[in-house]
Structure formats: C-alpha cells, structure tokens
Amino acid sequence: MTKKAFIFDLDGVIVDTAKYHFLAWKKLANSIGVDFTEVQNEQLKGVSRVKSLEKILTWGKKSISEEEFMELMSLKNDDYLSYINKMNENEILPDVAKILDYLNDMNQHIALGSASKNARMILQKVNLLNKFDVIVDGNDVTKAKPNPEVFLKAATLLHCNPKDCIVFEDSLAGIKAANIASMVSIGIGDKETLKKADYVFNDFTEIDTDFLNELIKEKRT
Ligand code: B16
Ligand code: MG
C-alpha cells in the first residue's frame, strides 16, 4: 500500500496560537488607530506576517513607510513571542498527540506545513518537534497560502504524490491551498467558514481511527 503523507498546519490545528496572533495584531492595530473584528481576523489566519499587516493597513486605510512597516512587524512579533515563550505541552490541542502517535504507529509520513516563521520554536516549546518527518514553514516558502507552495514542498521532500497527501487546516486560505494542490483537505474548525474542505471537524476529538484508516487505504486517481 502507498504510504500517505499527513500534513499538519500549526497555528489553530496543533496549538491554539491563533488566539495569540489575534491579541498581538489587535494591540498593534489599536496602537496605530486601527481596529478590526473577529470576523476580519479569519482573513489573517494562515497568511504570512507581511500579508497580515498589509490587510490591517488596508482595513484602516493607512499608508506607512517601508521602515515603519518593518518596525510594526517586529513589534507584533515581539509581543507574539511573549505569549509563545510561556507555552508548554498543555497547550497541544485535544487528541493531536494521540493522532500523531497513531499515524506514526501506522507507518505514515508526518509533515508540518505552516506559514509561521516561528513554527520550529513553537513545536520545541510543546515538545512535538521529533514527531515530524519533514517541516516546511514560513522560512522555506516565498508564496503565502492560498498558494500551495508550502504543502507541495512537503510532498516533494517526502517523495509523495500530492494525491497521496492529506492536509489538516484551520484556515480558509490553507484549505484553498490544499485543494489547489489536489490534496485531501480536512478543515479543523467552523463548518461554514471551512465549507470548501473535503471534510470538516470541530476538533481532533471527532476524528476516529476508522476515519484515519480509510484515508490511509483510499486510492485516489
Ligand atoms: P509568524 P499557520 C500562520 O500559521 C498563522 O495562521 C497566521 O495567522 C500567521 O500570520 C502566520 O502563520 C505567520 O506567522 O508571524 O509566526 O511567522 O496557521 O500556517 O501554521
Ligand atoms: Mg492555521
């Protein structure tokens, strides 16, 4: 049987760092007189740091110099890292570790496909770094999700056909990227937001081994 590659997004899938991104962006935006809603925040999920700030500036109709742009990105990241530094294994989302172990026991490939430049540090903090065969993060790609570069790079590194890859994602941008790459897309989160996914679950506690076994066995042409 062909070995499948299970590609996990990080923020919002393995750990709930999405809430820390939200807090840090909100604080930064407010400091320059811009505000945005939780609904707008959905558009920041899965997209790069640069793209996120560009969106916030567009929402606030602000234009700033290149130098200020770099300064704001660094302020946001410093604030975000203050949350990350306090993370530990207790912040791994329910049943994620169990599913990683099961896929490992079933001898499947396991990869990370994240837009975050802080991905390795976060995995280290929650003690999951050694669970991944391959890590592709924001330092390895030039095109942000919904461009499928991050997932295709993981597939290439694992010598896997994209059709044999399964992506777990919490963002609409990430689901679109998986679909464009012809991978199986599994949304983790809200059914309405992620309706473009092949399957959607609220969280990993809803995913059982029967479902995983089906994905492992499935032959896609
Ligand atoms: P950083 P993911 C993404 O991670 C986040 O969802 C997104 O909100 C963030 O802007 C992006 O990483 C960049 O993160 O500032 O740490 O480089 O969901 O693709 O794992
Ligand atoms: Mg995410």
Token digits for 216?
A: 């492992």
Residue written as tokens 């306090």?
A: 86
Mean pLDDT over each residue of the chain, to the nearest integer: 96
Please name the helix (run of DSSP H) or strand (run of DSSP E) that holds residue 43, with its range, or none: none
Could you report the per-residue pLDDT of 154-169, keeping only the tens digit for each?
999 999 999 999 999 9
Among protein residues, the one with the nearest Cα to ligand 1's atom 16 is: 116
Q: How close is the Cα of 115 to the center of ligand 2, in Å?
A: 8
Split at pLDDT 50, 70, 90, the class of 219 is: confident
Split at pLDDT 50, 70, 90, the class of 153 is: very high
Percent residues over pLDDT 70 in the chain: 100
Residues in contact with ligand 1 (CB, 6 Å cut-off): 9-12, 18, 21, 44-49, 52, 77, 114-118, 138, 171
Q: What is the pLDDT of residue 15?
A: 97
Phi-psi region of 183 (alpha: psi -120 to 50; beta: other; left: phi over 0): beta
Does residue 23 share a domain with residue 56?
yes
Final residue belonging to a domain, choices 35, 55, 84:
84
Please name which of 109, 172, 112, 168 lies closest in space to residue 141, comparing C-alpha atoms. Answer: 112
Could you report the per-residue pLDDT of 5-56, keeping only the tens digit for each?
999 999 999 999 989 999 999 999 999 999 999 999 989 988 899 999 999 9
Residue 60 three-state SS: coil
Would you name the residues annotated as active-site residues?
Answer: 9, 11
Instruction: Assess whether pLDDT exceeds 80 at residue 220.
Output: no
Q: How close is the Cα of 115 to the center of ligand 1, in Å?
A: 5
Final residue belonging to a domain, choices 45, 61, 84:
84
Does residue 118 share a domain with residue 75?
no
Instruction: Assess whether pLDDT exceeds 80 at residue 221.
Output: no
Q: How close is the Cα of 48 to the center of ligand 1, in Å?
A: 6
Does residue 133 share a domain with residue 80?
no
CB 169 within 8 A of CB 188: yes
For 177, half-sphere exposure in the C-beta direction (CA atoms, 13 angstrom radius) is 29
Measured from the alpha carbon of residue 137, the closest ligand is 1
Domains in the chain, number:
2
Could you report the per-residue pLDDT of 159-204, keeping only the tens digit for each?
999 999 999 999 999 999 999 999 999 999 999 999 999 999 999 9
- Please confirm whether the linkage preceding 146 is cis (ω < 30° from 0): yes
Among protein residues, the one with the nearest Cα to ligand 1's atom 12 is: 116
Atom of ligand 1 nearest to the CA of 170: 18
Percent residues over pLDDT 90 in the chain: 94
Domain of 201?
5-15+90-217
Measured from the alpha carbon of residue 114, the closest ligand is 1
Does residue 211 share a domain with residue 135?
yes
Split at pLDDT 50, 70, 90, the class of 60 is: very high
Mutate to test the pocket of ligand 1, among 81, 114, 118 (most ligand atoms within 8 A of CB): 114
Q: What is the pLDDT of residue 2?
A: 84
Does residue 133 share a domain with residue 144?
yes
Does residue 155 share a domain with residue 136?
yes
- Would you call 215 exposed, middle or buried from its count of C-beta atoms within 10 A (0-12, 13-18, 19+)? middle
Q: Model-level pTM?
A: 0.93
Final residue belonging to a domain, choices 36, 51, 84:
84
Could you report the per-residue pLDDT of 132-144, keeping only the tens digit for each?
999 999 999 999 8
Does residue 197 share a domain with residue 158?
yes
Q: Using CA atoms, how far apart are residues 91 and 84, in angstroms rounded to an integer? A: 10
Does residue 77 share a domain with residue 10?
no
Does residue 63 share a domain with residue 99?
no
Residue ranges with CB less than 5 Å from ion ligand 2: 9, 11-12, 46, 170-171
Q: What is the pLDDT of residue 122?
A: 98
Q: Using CA atoms, how far apart are residues 13 and 96, in angstroms rounded to an integer? A: 8
Among protein residues, the one with the nearest Cα to ligand 1's atom 14 is: 116
Does residue 102 share a domain with residue 60?
no
Instruction: Assess whether pLDDT exceeds 90 at residue 1.
Output: no
Does residue 69 share a domain with residue 38?
yes
Please name the helix (run of DSSP H) or strand (run of DSSP E) that holds residue 173, with its range, or none: helix 172-180
